[in-house]
Amino acid sequence: MTFARDSYRTVIVGAGIVGLFTAYHLARSGGGPVLVVDRGFLSSGASGRNGGGVRQQWETRGTVRLARESVEAYRRFGREFGFNIWFRQSGYLFLAENETELARLKTVHTLVASEGLASKVLDSAGVARFVDGIAPGAVVGGTYLESDGTLYPFPAIWGVYEAARSLGVEVALGVEALGVEVQNARVAGVLTSKGPVATPTVVNAAGGWSGDFSRRSGLEVPNVATRHEILATESMKPFLDPMVVRVADGLYFSQSMRGEIIGGVTLPHRPGTSRGQGSSPAFLIAMARALVGLLPRLGAVGVLRAWSGFYDDTPDGFPVIGEDPRLPGFVHGNGFGGHGFMLAPATSRRIAHAALGQPTDLDPALFSPNRFRGPAPAATAERLQLG
């Protein structure tokens, strides 16, 4: 038999960081039995393909607060889950190439500082102190927040996976969720590639595939999967501490614990998941040009490997969290726009609340699945969708 039981209290689609964390919180608050299904192997999606950045510098207060809570959770992670995720708080450095970009970053700084975080505005000399060898005249300034940082995603996944399983959560890998079964206008079960399974609640935490799963379940959603590529270089002795992000083109990079430069740059790929998680010559060239242009000495460093993953984008840049009013029992935990790892610890607690039918403290205007319906588009948007 594929699954241990015929029916579950909750079925979670997606064993990425959001799905596993949600399962963990559900199991802890007595919300079991819980089944998590995933089409691939553990960490085969964006949770195993990201650059490991965790930051609290955002354009909207709602996101800053979720991010700050997540940073605290990652600081505690080693104690709570027994895995070393190498969460290194050595800052995020945003770069501005002109005064307009700097003005935008200063607005972010004001907001972030008003939340009690020690954000700093830097001039070009201040930036150069963090980025040894930056090309002269490449930037006019930037902002820096030391308590932002980077972590190593895989052990975070394993830590939550093993903790969830020890609480009785069942994780079925290599099982694709094909849609939901509806009875009396609410969720009654999930159809999977290994057969149906009964449940009153399904959580869509499928990352890049969440739009596909919602639509297969008969729900029109605006989620769009976009492929983002990333590369790693040969390892070097440490010379760069912060994660560096350039506003203009979405260039981001950091130096990992192993000494590799890991980063990407935004390219206009065709949306959708159909082309898989491959790499393109255009990315390798664009990324090399961006890196060498900013830090000329990197020209003598070798690219070791490149890969890609899907962002799950929403029109306003906020994730979608909560039960879908059109289909009771269908709970969204998606639309993270490439920032699921950053926000998972804080958001997954709310997703678990929603799955248990409890109210959350989230602003419905920003996060509710209902916000895309109705005539007026949302007034606020989170556009700092970088790095």
Interface residues with another protein (CB under 8 A)? 41-44, 48, 78-79, 82-84, 86, 88, 133, 154-155, 158, 233-239, 257-259, 267-270, 275, 278-289, 291-293, 296-307
Please give the structure tokens belonging to residue 347: 């958001």
User: What's the rounded Cα separation, in Å, for the pair 123 and 102?
Assistant: 9
Q: Tell me if the bond preceding 296 is cis, omega within 30° of 0.
A: no
CB-nearer residue toward another protein: 259 or 315: 259
CB-nearer residue toward another protein: 75 or 186: 75
Burial group, residue 128, by CB count within 10 angstroms (0-12, 13-18, 19+)? middle
Terminal-residue alpha carbon distance, the chain? 42
Could you tell me if 354 and 360 are in contact, meaning their C-beta atoms sit under 8 angstroms apart? yes
Residue with tokens 């690219």: 303
Q: How far is the CB of 93 from another protein (least distance, A)?
A: 17
CB-nearer residue toward another protein: 235 or 370: 235
User: What's the rounded Cα separation, in Å, for the pair 7 and 170?
Assistant: 12
- Dihedral sign of CA atoms 129, 131, 134, 137 in order: negative
Could you tell me if 191 and 11 are in contact, meaning their C-beta atoms sit under 8 angstroms apart? no
Distances, alpha carbon 373 to alpha carbons 200, 207, 222, 376, in Å:
24, 21, 10, 8
Residue with tokens 């490449």: 138
CB-nearer residue toward another protein: 283 or 318: 283
CB-nearer residue toward another protein: 88 or 339: 88
The residue among 367, 153, 176 whose CA lies nearest residue 257 is 153
Q: How far is the CB of 303 from another protein (least distance, A)?
A: 5
Neighbouring residues of 12: CB distance < 8 A, sequence distance ≥ 6: 19, 22, 23, 26, 34, 35, 36, 37, 202, 203, 205
CB-nearer residue toward another protein: 235 or 273: 235
Q: How far is the CB of 236 from another protein (least distance, A)?
A: 5
Q: How far is the CB of 103 from another protein (least distance, A)?
A: 25
CB-nearer residue toward another protein: 111 or 139: 139
Q: How far is the CB of 264 from another protein (least distance, A)?
A: 14
Q: How far is the CB of 320 from another protein (least distance, A)?
A: 28
User: What's the rounded Cα separation, in Å, for the pair 213 and 206?
Assistant: 8
Neighbouring residues of 185: CB distance < 8 A, sequence distance ≥ 6: 327, 328
Could you tell me if 82 and 354 are in contact, meaning their C-beta atoms sit under 8 angstroms apart? no
Angle between helices 340-355 and 17-28 (to 10 degrees): 40
CB-nearer residue toward another protein: 48 or 319: 48
Q: In a 3-state reduction of DSSP, which class is residue 170?
A: strand
Q: How far is the CB of 6 from another protein (least distance, A)?
A: 24
Q: How far is the CB of 191 from another protein (least distance, A)?
A: 25
Q: How far is the CB of 132 from another protein (least distance, A)?
A: 8
CB-nearer residue toward another protein: 129 or 305: 305
Please give the structure tokens belonging to residue 231: 């590369």
Phi and psi, residue 338, nearest 5°: 85, 10
DSSP annotation of 369 reads G
CB-nearer residue toward another protein: 84 or 110: 84
Q: How far is the CB of 256 from another protein (least distance, A)?
A: 9
